[in-house]
Amino acid sequence: MEFTILAFLVQDGVTNGAIYALLGLALVLVFAVTRVIFIPQGEFVAYGALTLAFLDVGRMPGTAMLLVVFGIAAFLFDLVETRLRPGLPALARSAAINLVLPFAIYTAALFIVPTEPNAFVKALLTIVIVAPMGLYVYRIAYRPLSDATVLVLLITSVGVHLAMMGLGLAFFGAEGFRARPLTAGSFSVGFMPVAAQAVWIYGVTIAAMVGLYFFFEKTLLGKALRATAVNRLGARLVGVRTQLTGGTAFVLAATIGAVSGVLIAPITTVYYDTGFLIGLKGFVAAIIAGLSSFPVTALAAIGVGLVEALASFYASNFKEIIVFTLIIPVLIWRSLTTDHHEDD
């Protein structure tokens, strides 16, 4: 193979791998804190990408309305729950988070969209619209099941994935979209042109990892999330509410999904169902890392990206199959090297 081709493939692989790394991190995070295998992670990517694409052409994205719908549903869940134990402050809090917040974001979008804002404002607005969905999805689908087994939570995830994909179709239609890059153009490193968007992807991925590291090592809330992952009962005994850590984990996951969507929207055409396949590749990386280690997940994700890039060159018809087959030797190796212990 020619060296230039190889160099391009590697660049492609690393770029996609960086996105898979972000998604893999979100999956590890959510699983560690809540034991949920978060299949719908990819839907946030699609929502983020499609939202940005709509903002690009000056259209109001469907996700803004969807956010309000999610918020109302979450509020109704709170209402039913607090009816059993009425308390005005709790209800006011719920109304603020589930009704006022999404409505404020919707209204803000209504004003910002027609002003043709610059790329960064659009990216930020996209993230602000998609991130709170993590909280509502947690509230509606997972919080009522906080004592359920991993299997029940997994089945729930499949349901949530299908529902969110269906909502994506309803709110964005079946057409694919592509957004404009954050900064257009490219520059060359040696002989090789590197797209400015790729540099954004590397930069944001690294920044997100550093940010997560500081969050988990240095902040009390981050430590509470780790504590919940290490010992759920211990965390409750020091007053860490499961709802707080669960909600935080899902908001982080949705934020990471939205950021990934913003990053890939200019380099691939995204359809309402594109997120699933992208999320699955992050999932492959997370599984290779045993759903536990952040650094191993990131490395595995880069590996997945590289394998995918090479496969798309040599055997493009089989590239997805080759990527997903990566799991099998890893699972065999894991089942041979780790002691078996009961689920949880």
Task: List residues binding another protein (CB under 8 A).
Answer: 85, 220, 223-224, 226-227, 230-231, 233-242
Q: Measured between alpha carbons, how far is 175 from 273 in angstroms, rounded to an integer?
A: 10
Give percent helix, percent strand, percent coil of the chain, each to the nearest 5.
80, 5, 20
Nearer to another protein, 220 or 328 (CB): 220
Q: Measured between alpha carbons, how far is 145 from 156 in angstroms, rounded to an integer?
A: 9
Q: Measured between alpha carbons, how far is 272 from 251 in angstroms, rounded to an integer?
A: 21
Nearer to another protein, 43 or 78 (CB): 78
Nearer to another protein, 234 or 329 (CB): 234
CB of 225 to another protein, least distance (A): 11
CB of 244 to another protein, least distance (A): 9
Nearer to another protein, 237 or 336 (CB): 237
Nearer to another protein, 235 or 270 (CB): 235
Q: Measured between alpha carbons, how far is 126 from 254 in angstroms, rounded to an integer?
A: 11
CA proximity to 252, closest of 47, 38, 30, 21: 30
Per the CB < 8 A criterion, the answer to whether 260 and 48 are in contact is yes
CB of 24 to another protein, least distance (A): 21
CB of 35 to another protein, least distance (A): 17
CB of 149 to another protein, least distance (A): 17
Q: Measured between alpha carbons, how far is 258 from 260 in angstroms, rounded to an integer?
A: 5
Q: CA distances (Å), 186 to each of 19, 71, 193, 235, 300, in order? A: 19, 41, 6, 48, 27
CB of 220 to another protein, least distance (A): 6
CB of 93 to another protein, least distance (A): 15
CA proximity to 297, closest of 11, 12, 32: 32
Nearer to another protein, 66 or 225 (CB): 225
Per the CB < 8 A criterion, the answer to whether 331 and 284 are in contact is no
What are the E-state strand segments in the chain?
A: 186-189, 192-195
Q: In the 8-state DSSP scheme, what is residue 318?
A: G
Nearer to another protein, 201 or 212 (CB): 212
Nearer to another protein, 174 or 233 (CB): 233
CA proximity to 34, closest of 133, 128, 157, 129: 157
CB of 223 to another protein, least distance (A): 6
